[in-house]
Amino acid sequence: MWDDELDERAIAALRKLQQPNAVRPDPPPLRIHHLMVCAAVAAVELSLLRFRLSWSPQSRAIFGGGVFGFTQVLNAIGLTLFGFSYYWWRKGYAAFTQPGQMLLLQYAASLLLNLLYMAFAFTMRPIAGSVRSPSSITWLPAIMGIGSLLFSVLLPVVFYGWCAWKIADTRPWRLLFVLCAVTAVLTSPLSMVLMQFVTNVGPNNIQTVIAVPYLVRGTMLMTAGALAVVTDLMDQRKRSWTHWTALFLWLFGQIGTLLVGVYYMFVWRMV
């Protein structure tokens, strides 16, 4: 009878260790093949950027190309780290348990949106050039509106709200995720279209409606991110290197957001 009780305790302990919430080891250290993969991903990202700039002559300016190139390189690093983190998570490492690590998911979402944009642009190009284009694309505004509502508003709010509730382990991190949700809505295409009607802007100052949300977003998120860094360092919280890498990469991304705002404010013009 005593042996049966010991066996039951041993089995219970093993089941507890096998639970999904069991403590996982930190991801493995950075190695040279990670950097090589990152270089390849950056080359692909810059090629995709070149395709996108070919559709927007205004973005071919030196400043615009530099800004968007800077953001694409950051996206390539984040996307590479996300790919390896997903692989490590499947292998049993703690790859998506800390707040900074969850920020990597936005790079995968950004790549998906870029691919959808290019597929949509490639599909609409022959339609827009046909003589029947006015009657063929009457459904275009509805598709763009639904896509903007889904990908730029609903999904970010749900994701960042879930992170604030489940992933954030301090008040600064909870504030950061809440601000990410708010600013994602602020800079969504749907919000910018609505702001044009509310502010009653004209063609000469429409760039203000686009630039100001990016400037506000970059300022707010950089401040909240810096607060999260300071509190983590002061409290000496145990964080993995992927958490810190993702966090500082994300902070550099907010510099890119500010530069995008500057670009739309002073360089970009409606044609």
Give residue-wise pLDDT tens across range 142-168: 666 677 778 888 999 999 999 999 999
Q: How many domains is the chain built from? A: 1
Q: Is residue 141, in this structure, part of any structural domain at all?
A: no
HSE-up (13 A, CA, CB side) for residue 62 = 0
CA distances from 147 to 189, 210, 261 (A): 10, 19, 23
Decide if pLDDT at 1 tops 50: no
**Higher per-residue confidence, 202 vs 90:** 90
Q: Is residue 127, in this structure, part of any structural domain at all?
A: no
Q: Is residue 5, in this structure, part of any structural domain at all?
A: no
Q: Is residue 69, in this structure, part of any structural domain at all?
A: yes
* pLDDT bucket at 6, cuts 50 / 70 / 90: very low
Q: Is residue 156, in this structure, part of any structural domain at all?
A: yes
Average pLDDT of the segment spanning 45-61 = 65
Decide if pLDDT at 270 tops 60: no
pLDDT, residue 137, reads 54
pLDDT, residue 158, reads 94
Decide if pLDDT at 173 tops 80: yes
Q: Is residue 260, in this structure, part of any structural domain at all?
A: yes
Name which of 76, 23, 80 is nearest 240 in CA terms.
23
Decide if pLDDT at 88 tops 90: yes
User: What's the mean pLDDT when you consider all of the chain?
Assistant: 80
pLDDT, residue 2, reads 45
CA distances from 149 to 63, 156, 180, 185 (A): 30, 10, 16, 9
Decide if pLDDT at 269 tops 90: no
Average pLDDT of the segment spanning 85-99 = 91
Host domain of residue 240: 28-119+147-266
pLDDT, residue 157, reads 93
Q: Is residue 200, in this structure, part of any structural domain at all?
A: yes
Least confident range from 63-67, 171-175, 189-193, 195-199: namely 63-67
Q: Is residue 14, in this structure, part of any structural domain at all?
A: no
Describe the crossing of helices 105-129 and 32-53 by its angle, rounded to 10 degrees: 30
Quick check: pTM over 0.75? Answer: yes
Instruction: Report whether 93 contacts 28 (CB < 8 A).
Output: yes
* Stated length of the chain: 271
